[in-house]
Amino acid sequence: MPVTVSIGAASTADWPAMAASHQQGIDPGMATFEAAPPASWATWLQGKVDGCCLTARCGGEVVGVSDDGVAPPGRLERPTNCLEGSCSIL
């Protein structure tokens, strides 16, 4: 049976799924230097280029996120971003 997955810009409504995905990377201590996901969507977006955080949806449910976003030139928020360009499948 074919599965349709749509990819689009993430929104405030997607933040719970994005935060959960981020937490999955934090728990094993391998995906980020952060101790916890940002407290809110607005906090996450600080310093990001609008439209660079994406979600993948199947049947209306978020099934994947590219939640690293991109820092504008000259505004790198971390010394390194080892996950730049990555995607998490939930």
State in Å, rounded, how far the first CA of the chain is from the last one.
20
Q: How many Cα atoms within 13 Å fall on the side-chain side of residue 51?
A: 0
Quick count: other Cβ atoms within 10 Å of Cβ 20? 14
Asked whether the beta carbons of 62 and 15 are under 8 A apart, the reply is no
For residue 67, the model assigns a pLDDT of 63
Asked whether the beta carbons of 64 and 20 are under 8 A apart, the reply is no
Say whether pTM exceeds 0.85.
Answer: no
7-58 residue pLDDT tens: 888 889 999 988 888 888 888 887 677 888 889 989 888 877 777 788 888 8
User: What are the backbone angles phi and psi of residue 14, rounded to the nearest 5°?
Assistant: -85, -10
Spatial neighbors of 37 by CB under 8 A, at least 6 apart, are 18, 19, 22, 23, 26, 44
Structural domain boundaries of the chain?
Answer: 15-70+84-89
